[in-house]
Structure 1
Amino acid sequence: MTASSQNSVESKNSLSRLAPLEAVLFDVDGTLCDSDPLHYQAFREMLLEIGFNGGVPITEDFFVENIAGKHNDDIAMILFPDDFQRGIKFLEDKESMFRRLAVDQLKPVNGLDKLRKWIEDHGLKRAAVTNAPKANAELMISILGLSDFFETVILGSDCEHAKPFPDPYLKALEVLKVSKDHTFVFEDSVSGIRAGVFAGMPVVGLTTRNPEHLLMEAQPAFLIKDYEDPKLWAALEELDKKGGAHPA
C-alpha cells in the first residue's frame, strides 16, 4: 500500500476530521442496549405458535438476515408475503411481547454511561434515530435513563423512508441544526450503518450481535465491541486534540 493510500484509509477511519464535533447520533436497538436477544425470543416463540416455517423454530442466522435492524413494514413483507395485513398485526403483538420482556431484562451496552458523560461534558447535541415503533423506543430510552439525554427521537415511520435509506439521519441533522461534516453515528446493524453512511457521516459500528464481516460490508469507519473499547476512546482522544467539540 502506498503512503497516500495508507493516509486515505486512516482519514476514512478517523473521527478527527469532524472537529469541531457538534453532535452524536445513536440507533437504539442493539446500540444503546443489547435488545436483539429479546426480539429474537419474541419472534421465535410467536412464529412457532403459528406454525411458521413448518413448525421449525427460526434460527439466529435467519433473524440476523431477515429481521434485525429492519423496519416492521419490511419484516411483514418478508415473513408474510401473501398477507401483509396479517404480518402487521403479528408484529404489533410481537412488539407487545418484546416490551413485556424489556421491562425486566433490558440492559445498557457496556460503557454507555461513560460515553454519555463524555458527550455531556463536551456540550454536544444528540438524537436517537431508530426504526423501532414509538412505544418501543420510548420504553427502551426510559429504562436506560436517557429520556432527558436525547434532545429528539427520530422514528423511521415518521420519515418518507426508514433505514437503510438516509432519511431518518438527515432528519436528525435538520432537527438538531447541525452539519453532517461535524456529526457521527453509532449503529449495530447493516441497514443502520448504510443509512448513516448514505447520509454522509462516519458510522462507528457495534458488534453487539451482528457478524463483523457483514457489518464491514456496509462500510463503517470502524467497529467496536462496546463503549469501553479502547479503539473508540483513542478516536475520541484524537478528535479532542484536533479541536475537540463545538458546544451547542
Structure 2
Amino acid sequence: MAIHYLIKYYLKKDRGPANIRHKDILKGKKAAFFDLDGTVWDSDLLWIEALEKVARENGFGEIDVRSTYLPGTELIKTWKVLQAYNEFKLPAKKDHRVLATETETKILNHINNSEHVDLIEGFLSFAIFLKEDKGLKLALVTNSGKEIAEALVQKTMVAYLFDLILTGSDVAKKKPSPRIFLKAAGKLRASPKNVLVFEDSLSGSKAAEKAGMDQIIIWRTDIPQVEYHGNIYGFYPDFEDLDKIISTTHRERALEGVTLLHKIQGNTEPAENEQPSQEM
C-alpha cells in the first residue's frame, strides 16, 4: 500500500491545479505546434518596452504597462486595456489598431537591427528531436503578425524546422479562439487529438483546450498554474532535457517511484521487477 501511494505521488509530483495528464505523451502524436512569444522566444519584456515607447511617442507620457500586461493578448485589446487603466486620450486620426501596428513595428525593428536573437533554452535541440527522431510535423502558430514571425525565424535560422507557419495575419479570430490551431491541424492533416501544443499564455492554453489538443506549458511568468486549463502534461521553464522527460513512459515513471521508495527504505535493490499498482 505504501508503494502504491508513493508511486501515485511520484507520477503527479509536478502536478499543478490544471488537469495534468501523465501518459505516454508522444504516443499517437503526428504534429507539434509551438507558440512564438514567450514559448520559443522570450519576448515579453520587449513587448512591454515597445508599448511604453509607443505611448511616449504618442504623448501619453509614462504609462503603467506592467500592471495590466498579459502575455498572449491581442495587441488591439492590450491597447484598449491600457487606455482604460491609464485614462489617456487617443490622438486625432489614431485608433487602437494603429497603435497596435506601431507596436509591432517596434518589435520588427528590434529583430532586424539585432545582431543576434536568443531563443528559449533548449528549443533548437528539442525541435530537432521531435522532427527528426520522432517524425512529427512542426508548426509555428502565433498571434503575432506574419512579418514578425518570418523575421524571427529567419534571424534565428530555424525556419527550416517548421512545416507550417501560421500567424495572426492568417485568421479572423486569434487565440483564445481555437481557429488558428484547428486551421494549422487541417493544413498538416493532423487530428486535434494527435497534436501536442507548446504554449506559455492563458489565451494560448485556452485555445488549445478548445481545439481538443494536449499541451505542455513553458511557464516563465507568475501566472498561477490554477488558471491554466485543458489536457496539460506539465509546466516547465524551458526546453532543456524535455526530450528525455516526455520520452519517459508511464511505466518508467512508476518504476522511478518504486526505486525512490527503496532508497528511502535503505534498500538499494533495483525495482525492475516491481509491478506498480494500476489504480492511479
Q: Same fold, TM exceeding 0.5?
A: yes
Equivalent residue in structure 1 for 2:64, among 43, 55, 58: 58
Residues 1:148 and 2:160 are matched in the alignment: yes
> What secondary structure sits across from 2:36 in the alignment?
coil
In the aligned structure 2, how far is the partner of 1:185 from the partner of 1:212?
A: 18
In the aligned structure 1, how far is the partner of 2:63 from the partner of 2:223?
A: 25
Structure 2 unaligned residues grouped into runs of 5+: 253-280
Note closer, same or farther for the CA distance 1:162–1:239 as it changes in structure 2 (3 Å cut): farther
- Equivalent residue runs for 1:114-193 within 5 Å: 114-119=125-130, 120-193=132-205
Note closer, same or farther for the CA distance 1:108–1:30 as it changes in structure 2 (3 Å cut): same
Equivalent residue in structure 2 for 1:35, among 16, 35, 43: 43
> What secondary structure sits across from 1:169 in the alignment?
helix
Note closer, same or farther for the CA distance 1:172–1:239 as it changes in structure 2 (3 Å cut): farther
Q: CA deviation at 1:37?
A: 1.3
- Equivalent residue runs for 1:69-80 within 5 Å: 69-79=72-82
User: Percent of counterpart pairs with the same letter?
Assistant: 26
Q: Which residue in 2 is equivalent to 1:245?
A: none
Q: Which moved more, 1:99-108 or 1:78-87?
A: 78-87
Residues 1:235 and 2:246 are matched in the alignment: yes
In the aligned structure 2, how far is the partner of 1:20 from the partner of 1:12?
A: 18
In the aligned structure 2, how far is the partner of 1:46 from the partner of 1:160?
A: 25
Q: Which moved more, 1:23-32 or 1:99-108?
A: 99-108
Using the size of structure 1 for normalisation, the TM-score is 0.81
Q: Which residue in 2 is equivalent to 1:108?
A: 119
Q: How many residues align?
A: 230
> What secondary structure sits across from 1:99 in the alignment?
helix
> What secondary structure sits across from 1:60 in the alignment?
coil
**Rg: which structure is higher?**
2
> What secondary structure sits across from 1:126 in the alignment?
strand
Report the residue type matching 1:90 in the other structure. Answer: L
Note closer, same or farther for the CA distance 1:121–1:201 as it changes in structure 2 (3 Å cut): same
In the aligned structure 1, how far is the partner of 2:246 from the partner of 2:26?
A: 11
> What secondary structure sits across from 1:174 in the alignment?
helix
In the aligned structure 2, how far is the partner of 1:79 from the partner of 1:61?
A: 9
Task: Indicate conservation of the 8 Å contact 1:79/1:87, yes or no.
Answer: no
Residues 1:218 and 2:228 are matched in the alignment: yes
In the aligned structure 1, how far is the partner of 2:106 from the partner of 2:228?
A: 30
Q: Tell me the alpha carbon deviations over residues 3-41 of structure 1, each in whole angstroms, 9 at most, x when there is no partner.
A: 8xx699789422515512211100011111111111111
Report the residue type matching 2:227 in the other structure. Answer: E
Using the size of structure 2 for normalisation, the TM-score is 0.72
Structure with more helix by fraction: 1
